[in-house]
């Protein structure tokens, strides 16, 4: 069994690594992501934008998100007509409590048509220094493949809820 001395040294090293990750995120990874993702949205004209959630220092996120748009589904009743909105689709690079970055996707959904919250998938957990042009490009490609598949496949049709 490890001695208390060895464990305290290990814990000190872990705390130092967390600080290094956070410093790397602030100095390099976050500014790179904001610039790179903004460049992608400018170059490739879709109904999307890049942004950052900086409300909680140490748990920040940089993301690509599709804007809300009409889904093409309209609910009609004798008293109203309601255009159902398609809510985004997000690729997020989110800090964790230990400074690592979780890359994840939130799939689009049609507001008011499903009982569940949007489906989320984690792509990978990485170190801030692994945020490179090559890796981010790969994540964007995976995100777009998933969004295309969501649009093409009727995988969420069964079990939708109608609100009257």
Residue 66, in any domain of the structure: yes
Residue 116, in any domain of the structure: yes
DSSP state of 121: E
Sequential DSSP letters for 70-120: EEEEEEE-SS-EEEEEEE--EEEEEE-TTS-EEEEEE--EETTS-SSPPPE
Distance CA 125, CA 2 (A): 28
Evaluate whether 35 touches 93 at the Cβ level (below 8 Å). no
Residue 134, in any domain of the structure: yes
Q: What is the pLDDT of residues 77-100, one digit of tens each?
A: 888 888 788 888 999 999 999 999
Sign of the alpha-carbon torsion through 38, 118, 148, 83: negative
Q: What is the pLDDT of residues 113-130, one digit of tens each?
A: 765 567 899 999 999 999
Residue 164, in any domain of the structure: no
- What pLDDT is attached to residue 153? 83
Residue 160, in any domain of the structure: no
- 27 is written with which tokens? 């100095």
Residue 16 to residues 6, 20, 24, 72: CA-CA distances in angstroms? 15, 6, 12, 52
Number of domains present in the structure of the chain:
1
Look up the domain containing 52 and give its range.
4-152
Residue 75, in any domain of the structure: yes
How long a stretch of residues is the chain? 164
Residue 161, in any domain of the structure: no
Residue 141, in any domain of the structure: yes
pLDDT in tens, the chain (164 residues): 679 999 999 999 999 999 999 999 999 999 999 999 999 999 999 999 999 999 888 899 999 999 887 777 877 888 888 878 888 899 999 999 999 999 999 998 888 776 556 789 999 999 999 999 999 999 999 999 999 998 888 654 444 444 44
């Amino acid at each position: 069994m490890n001695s208390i001395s060895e464990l305290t040294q290990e814990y000190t090293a872990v705390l130092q690594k967390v600080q290094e990750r956070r410093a790397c995120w602030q100095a390099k990874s976050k500014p790179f992501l904001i610039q790179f993702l903004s460049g992608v949205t400018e170059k490739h004209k879709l109904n999307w934008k890049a942004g950052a959630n900086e409300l909680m220092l140490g748990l920040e996120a940089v993301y690509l998100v599709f804007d809300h748009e009409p889904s093409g589904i309209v609910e009609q009743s004798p008293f109203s007509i309601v255009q159902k909105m398609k809510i985004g689709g997000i690729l997020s690079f989110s800090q964790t409590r230990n400074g690592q970055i979780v890359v994840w996707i939130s799939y689009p959904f049609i507001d008011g048509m499903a009982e569940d919250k949007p489906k989320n998938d984690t792509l990978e957990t990485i170190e801030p220094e692994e945020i490179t042009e090559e890796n981010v490009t790969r994540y964007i490609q995976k995100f777009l493949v998933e969004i295309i598949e969501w649009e093409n496949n009727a995988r969420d049709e069964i079990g939708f809820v109608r609100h009257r």
